[in-house]
Structure 1
Amino acid sequence: MEKIKPKTITEKTNLHPRNLDRFGYDFEQLIKNCPELQHFVTVNEHHIKTLDFSNPEAVKSLNKALLVTHYDIQDWDIPKNYLCPPIPGRADYIHYIADLLASTNNGIIPEGETVQGLDIGIGANCIYPIIGNSAYGWSFVGTDIDLKAIENCSKIIESNPKLIDAISLQQQTEVRFIFKNIITPEDKFTFTICNPPFHASQQEATKSTLRKINNLEQTKTTKPVLNFGGHNAELWCEGGELGFVTQMIYESAKYPMQCLWFTTLVSKKENLSSLYKTLNKVSAVEVKTIDMAQGQKTSRIVAWTFLSEAQQKAWKF
């Protein structure tokens, strides 16, 4: 019988201090809560339990286990070929948003349903609203252009009664718009959140998927795993990340008083210079860039507001 090393706790210092996965995965507890995960857990050459992260079914099973264990979410699933996000990275975004809100609230993280987030491109997984509601009691509106993704989020919400009053969904019916049709004159959002499509074409997205798989596997492949990485609309759009976020910035300027902080992930550092110029053009009052790092990947959150310091402090959470 292969000897397994006793569990050693290694702190992942690149994760946010409040991230529940900062001290690694407790596979014994995760398997107890989600027995199907057992099929994907192996023992590596150092006799330590691990997972094949190049296998999308393994990653999905790990997500199910984490959602049960940390967030009390049952019956979570996503359709084949849809993005299965790594939960620790998504949780970091939520925790950094909490810190951002605290910066205009006397250092106190605002909690409860009156803090409302707008998730642009919720996908089929509903991850950001799930984590935000569990960690801080926030409520969310989730939008997507993909009806199938919206329908799957609806299933997740209906399977978890505590989410029913916390998350509402809306399909964006006009692909070229982001906030139009979504933000009404009566709406006030505390923040927006977005993981934009990175790539400018299907070909670019496929190349990236292959690169990810080959980095995770010992043997090289030229055939993409169809459900590793996500659905077309989640991975690419015309203009890529830069085009998408630039459009978002221009649209945000039409709703200056209706959101405290607009935010988005920006994966490609080389896009920052152009985005800062656009933010200057639309007269953003304050712009913040928050660095994040998960594993070998570095990303950042760009946040902007049109509210003065006095208006920020007067915002009612």
Structure 2
Amino acid sequence: MTAHTPSNPVEKSGLHPRNQHRARYDFEQLTRAHPVLANFVRLNEYQDASINFADPLAVKALNQALLKHYYAIAEWDIPAQFLCPPIPGRADYLHYLADLLAASNGGFIPRGRQIQVLDIGVGANLVYPLIGQHEYGWQFVGADINPQALDNARQIVAANPGLDHAITLRLQANAAVIFPGVVEATDRFDLTMCNPPFHASQDDAAAGTQRKWQGLEKSRGKPARRSSKPLPAHKLNFGGQSAELYCEGGEEAFIDRMVSESAAIGRQCLWFTTLVSKATTLPAVYRVLRQADAFKVKTIDMAQGQKKSRVVAWTFLDSQQQRAWVSQRWPTATSR
């Protein structure tokens, strides 16, 4: 048996207790689920099976295996240069949202089709709806400004029987707004969720990708790359399309806009939420939430190894309105 060191842990630190990815990847199990993954599995420095996480094809094959094995998604693919998300971290967001709803439901997680979730920026990968539907049976509306991303998401839905009854996709035709044109007058969402663009510009995004590559090369014992030349196209799998990566003003500006717009539909949603990657963004987010007169704000800390992030959640419903929402909308939602 291989001895494990802190650099090679048996369990991934910080993940939510219900996250199915807390243990190290079982590549024997995963390659049985998705045999293509075997083409990328090699022994690492600890003589354990692993993949080269710098290889976009290997990362995509790993995601396909994880989605097949844990979430019963038989067919999943993304076009070249679209974001290939880390599945464990995406699952964590959803599990913490389930806890958020449970806090409004006597500690019981509401499950099933009654729970309606809006995913802002669903992307070509559709990962949040795929995981959330499987784990909790929730219904999802996924919105995006990129028609190509939505086309791919529709292909994933069509290729996996039953998803068409659980996931609806909507195009945001106006890149200047977030909720208008997506949220309809009759919509009622128990949750909204968003992984906002992190960077403030294309150059900032490229620099971020460069830093990730340097970190990967350092972890593999290679000298850090210091060239000012742009990375080749095949190494941009960290980045994704422009709307996935950056917007003017970065995540702070995007979240400020989201909060400001949410006030106009505050009676149509129980909890608005967003990921916040940078702790330095929080003061501005709290300020705009005060300006918008949010009734309650919660901050949920998340961690995956050394990476720290958080979810900020807010509601415009007072305590009585929240109780009425739950009693009227979740009468048959159950926990297991």
Which range, TM-score by smaller chain? over 0.9
Alignment of 1:264 with 2:274, yes or no, is: yes
Alignment of 1:120 with 2:120, yes or no, is: yes
Distance 1:35 1:148 in 2: 28
CA deviation profile, 1:87-115 (whole Å, cap 9, x unmatched):
00000000000000000001000000110
Distance 2:245 2:169 in 1: 21
Pairwise CA distance, 1:9: 8.0
* Larger CA deviation: 163-172 vs 8-17: 8-17
Tell me: CA distance 1:6–1:273, structure 2 relative to 1, closer, same or farther (3 Å).
Answer: closer
Decide which of 288, 302, 307 is 1:278's aligned counterpart.
288
**1:36 equivalent in structure 2:** 36
Alignment of 1:195 with 2:195, yes or no, is: yes
Mapped contact 1:55–1:228 kept (Cα < 8 A) = no
Distance 1:11 1:210 in 2: 28
Decide which of 301, 308, 321 is 1:298's aligned counterpart.
308
**1:227 equivalent in structure 2:** 237
Distance 1:310 1:26 in 2: 47
Pairwise CA distance, 1:195: 0.3
**1:309 equivalent in structure 2:** 319
* Larger CA deviation: 97-106 vs 217-226: 217-226
> What letter matches 1:126 in structure 2?
L
Mapped contact 1:261–1:304 kept (Cα < 8 A) = yes
Alignment of 1:247 with 2:257, yes or no, is: yes
RMSD: 1.5
- For the residue of structure 1 that corresponds to 2:162, the secondary structure is helix
- For the residue of structure 1 that corresponds to 2:92, the secondary structure is helix
Pairwise CA distance, 1:252: 0.1
- For the residue of structure 2 that corresponds to 1:272, the secondary structure is helix
**2:94 equivalent in structure 1:** 94
CA deviation profile, 1:137-178 (whole Å, cap 9, x unmatched):
000000000000000000000000121110000000000010
Identify unmatched segments of 5+ residues in structure 1: none
**TM-score (norm: length of structure 2):** 0.91
> After superposition, where does 1:71-82 map in structure 2 within 5 Å?
71-82=71-82
CA deviation profile, 1:263-292 (whole Å, cap 9, x unmatched):
000001001001101000000000000011
Pairwise CA distance, 1:75: 1.5
> What letter matches 2:133 in structure 1?
N
Mapped contact 2:209–2:236 kept (Cα < 8 A) = no
**2:178 equivalent in structure 1:** 178
> What letter matches 1:237 in structure 2?
C
Alignment of 1:163 with 2:167, yes or no, is: no
CA deviation profile, 1:10-36 (whole Å, cap 9, x unmatched):
222410000001112111010111111
- For the residue of structure 1 that corresponds to 2:94, the secondary structure is helix
Distance 1:219 1:53 in 2: 17
**TM-score (norm: length of structure 1):** 0.96
Identify unmatched segments of 5+ residues in structure 2: 331-336
Distance 1:109 1:186 in 2: 25
Pairwise CA distance, 1:230: 1.1
Distance 2:26 2:3 in 1: 11
Distance 1:36 1:104 in 2: 43
> What letter matches 1:136 in structure 2?
Y
Identity level (%):
53
* Larger CA deviation: 218-227 vs 59-68: 218-227
- For the residue of structure 1 that corresponds to 2:264, the secondary structure is coil
**2:333 equivalent in structure 1:** none
Mapped contact 2:13–2:304 kept (Cα < 8 A) = no
Mapped contact 2:13–2:305 kept (Cα < 8 A) = no
> What letter matches 1:121 in structure 2?
G
Distance 1:204 1:255 in 2: 32
CA deviation profile, 1:179-220 (whole Å, cap 9, x unmatched):
001111111000001000000000000000010111011243
Distance 1:95 1:267 in 2: 17
